[in-house]
Each structure stands twice: as C-alpha cells, then as structure tokens.
Amino acid sequence: MENENVNEVEVLNEEVALESNDNNEIRIADDVVAVIAGVAVSEVQGVSSMAGGFAGGISEVLSGKKNLSKGIKVEVGDKETKIDVNIIVEYGTRIPDIAFEIQNRVKKAVETMTGLKVIEVNVHVQGVNTDIVTDEQKEENNN
C-alpha cells in the first residue's frame, strides 16, 4: 500500500515537470508578493506598524481582518520585482538598522517563496510611534 503512494507522487512530479516544459508561464500576483513582504516586515523588531492610508484602515475595520499587505507597494515583472515598504518605527530604535533588517528579510522571503529576483526594497519611514508606556503606567493599568 505504501509503495502505491510513492508511485503516485512520482507520477505527479513528472506531470508537473512536463507542464512546466511546455512554455506555460507562472504569474504571481502583486498582492501575493505584498503579503509575503508584509509578513516579513511584521517580524522585524522596532517596527511599530505599517503606514497604510485611509483606504487600508477602512478595509481593516470593515472586514475585521488584519491587512497583511498594508503599507506595501509591489511591481512584479516577468522575473523580477520592486517593493516599497511604508512603516512607522518605535521611538528609540535605530532607523538605519531597522531599514537594513527589513530589506534583508523581505528580499530573502520573496526570493525564496516566489523565485522572483528582488531588485529593490525601498523602506519609507512615515512616522515614529512615541506612545511610550513607563513601568509606573504599566503598574497602574494592572491594578
């Protein structure tokens, strides 16, 4: 029984290889690349939030879901892509370090998952989050 499953997998892999050799093309939507980049940015320490815009904020409120592509603009070509990231940073963090980390993570994630070559990752800092909660305020909120 186990050998039958292995044979089926091998046949499926051969079919995929045959289809890709027949000059069929795979197109990856801009939104897919934007979501991948958005997830990569959200993992960077020091990023307070994404700077979307009025329309992005309204869609989050109406749908009740977090928009993972908020603040990301993507241009996808045949084999390469350009990505613009708009962020708000936490007060006290070093902006060049955050920007460098974002560029590295976004490039690695998009190239690994899509196979597209990332030729640009532009980071635009739109603001600084100055909502600093002191230890005294944390204690007051907990009591």
What's 80's domain CATH number?
A: 3.30.70.1350
| Residue 74 near residue 82, CB atoms below 8 Å | yes
Dist CA 86 CA 38 (whole Å): 10
Per DSSP, 42 falls in state H
Q: Please check whether residue 7 lies inside any domain of the structure.
A: no
Q: How many domains does the chain have?
A: 1
Q: Please check whether residue 92 lies inside any domain of the structure.
A: yes
pLDDT band at 69 (very low <50, low <70, confident <90, very high): confident
Write the CA distances from 16 to 12, 21, 114, integer angstroms.
6, 9, 17
pLDDT score for 68: 82
Dist CA 34 CA 31 (whole Å): 5
Phi, psi for residue 87 in degrees, rounded to 5: -130, 165
Q: CB neighbours of 113 closer than 8 A, spacing ≥ 6?
A: 36
Q: The pTM is what? A: 0.69
Give the percent of the chain with pLDDT over 70. 66
Which structural domain range is residue 62 located in? 28-142
pLDDT band at 22 (very low <50, low <70, confident <90, very high): low
Burial state string for 95-106 with b = 16 or more CB within 10 A and e = fewer than 16: eeebbebbbebb
